[in-house]
Amino acid sequence: MKISLHPIVKLSDFGERKAIKLISKVLTKGTVAVGIGDDCAALEIDDDYLLISTDMIAENTHIPKIMTPWQIGWFIVAINLSDIAAKGGKPLGLVLSLGLPKNKNVDFLEELTRGADKCATTYKTSIIGGDTKENPALTICGTAFGLVKKNNFMSRKGSKPGDIVAVTGRLGGAGAGQFSIQNNINDKKTVKILLEPTPKIIEGQLLSRCKAVTSCMDISDGLSSSLYQLADLNNVGFKILKEKIPVSPVLLKLAEKHKNIDVDYYSLHFGGDYELLLTILPERFKETKKKILRDGGNLTEIGFVTKDKKIQINDNSKKKTLQNRGYEHFK
């Protein structure tokens, strides 16, 4: 009989981020430059970091029934490239492990591969290997590699009080897609924002070359969740100005027709937009924004880093604490 001194704790009571901390505590630290807890692992190769991102998606939890096999392939590549983008990396390639139920059609595999290939080639990279295995539940694991000059690497750590907080693109478009699916509106263009996200590879590389970014991560689980993660890692807080949040025009248009949409929820919490959240030296913000705009991107100041560890959101003159309503696995 094994007597455990710990009470039995289920992962469902523990949550994903505690689980990651536990893993990090158990592991023997190697020579890795950046390890568990960042978007990517990073290995030193001469003047570069080799960036490595791995992400797994599974039916039920990540793959809505409406998603086509092509979109599943696109999605797994896109979310992995998004992690490379957040570090300023240039993609080198990806490997995919496919866990497929036995009764899936060969067409399913072919379409999934086409979607993955299309996303990879769109961002000037390719699928270079993989594994296919039987799995009772459809499960796809992607691992992406990238390179970034050590000097240009954007870490999740480095924010200082006074830094400007900014985001690329617009927030809430993926949320609009989710609302559209759940309410059987099924506007294809809107749903596409959710199911075919675009990694911010160009923006990431531009930002990293500016050498003004003090911390960066991609917003996969929602702005509020991402802010809480950055605050925790950097031992700081944030003051966010709600009227400055660049809400997706697609979400705003949908909200005109459907009065029941919770615009705040979809723009501040829902996630899925895969934009970049960053902190940046205030004196370098304007020139950096100019460079991003010149390349067709977008960069919006939404607040600043504070010494006080609270995460506040100012809605006109009302101050309140931003709730962490982002998605967390197991919970």
Of the pair 57, 241, the CB lying nearest a copy of itself is at 57
Which range, of 131-139, 170-178, 203-211, 261-269, touches a copy of itself by CB under 8 A?
131-139
The reply to whether 1 sits near a copy of itself by the rule CB under 8 A is no
Of the pair 135, 312, the CB lying nearest a copy of itself is at 135
Of the pair 85, 322, the CB lying nearest a copy of itself is at 85
CB of 56 to a copy of itself, least distance (A): 4
What is the length of the chain? 331
Smallest CA-to-CA distance from 37 within 16, 56, 58 is with: 16
Lay out the site mask for a copy of itself across 237-276 (x = CB under 8 A, - = otherwise): ----------------------------------------
Q: Which of 71, 125, 159, 214 binds a copy of itself (CB under 8 A)?
A: 125
CB of 62 to a copy of itself, least distance (A): 7
To which residue do tokens 């907080």 refer? 165
Q: How far apart are CA 40 and CA 18, in angstroms?
A: 18
Q: Which two tokens stand for residue 261?
A: 């949409």
Q: How far apart are CA 145 and CA 41, in angstroms?
A: 10
Inter-residue contact 273 to 226 (CB < 8 Å): no
CB of 310 to a copy of itself, least distance (A): 28
The reply to whether 150 sits near a copy of itself by the rule CB under 8 A is no
Q: How far apart are CA 72 and CA 145, in angstroms?
A: 20
The reply to whether 143 sits near a copy of itself by the rule CB under 8 A is yes
Q: Write out the binding residues for a copy of itself, residues 55-74 only, by CB under 8 A.
A: 55-62
Q: How far apart are CA 43 and CA 30, in angstroms?
A: 10
Of the pair 134, 287, the CB lying nearest a copy of itself is at 134
Inter-residue contact 130 to 97 (CB < 8 Å): yes
The beta-strand segments (E) located in 219-298 are 237-241, 276-280
The reply to whether 182 sits near a copy of itself by the rule CB under 8 A is no
Give the DSSP letter of residue 47.
T
Which range, of 139-147, 177-185, 253-261, 295-303, touches a copy of itself by CB under 8 A?
139-147
C-alpha distances (whole Å) from 176 to each of 12, 63, 255 are 28, 17, 9
CB of 87 to a copy of itself, least distance (A): 12
Lay out the site mask for a copy of itself across 28-57 (x = CB under 8 A, - = otherwise): xxxxx--xx-x-xx-x-x----x-xxxxxx
The reply to whether 233 sits near a copy of itself by the rule CB under 8 A is no
Cα–Cα–Cα angle for 262, 196, 227, rounded to 5 degrees = 50
The reply to whether 317 sits near a copy of itself by the rule CB under 8 A is no
Q: How many residues sit close enough to a copy of itself to count as binding (CB under 8 A)?
A: 79
C-alpha distances (whole Å) from 53 to each of 28, 209, 280 are 19, 20, 23
What is the separation of C-alpha 219 from the centre of its chain, rounded to a whole number of angstroms?
Answer: 4
Inter-residue contact 37 to 233 (CB < 8 Å): yes
C-alpha distances (whole Å) from 201 to each of 231, 257, 261, 290 are 24, 34, 31, 17
CB of 229 to a copy of itself, least distance (A): 15
Which range, of 141-149, 183-191, 247-255, 296-304, touches a copy of itself by CB under 8 A?
141-149
CB of 166 to a copy of itself, least distance (A): 26
Residue type, 211: K
Q: Write out the binding residues for a copy of itself, residues 85-124 only, by CB under 8 A.
A: 92-93, 95-100, 102-107, 109-110, 113-114, 117, 120-121
Cβ neighbours, 10 Å, residue 75: 25
Of the pair 143, 279, the CB lying nearest a copy of itself is at 143
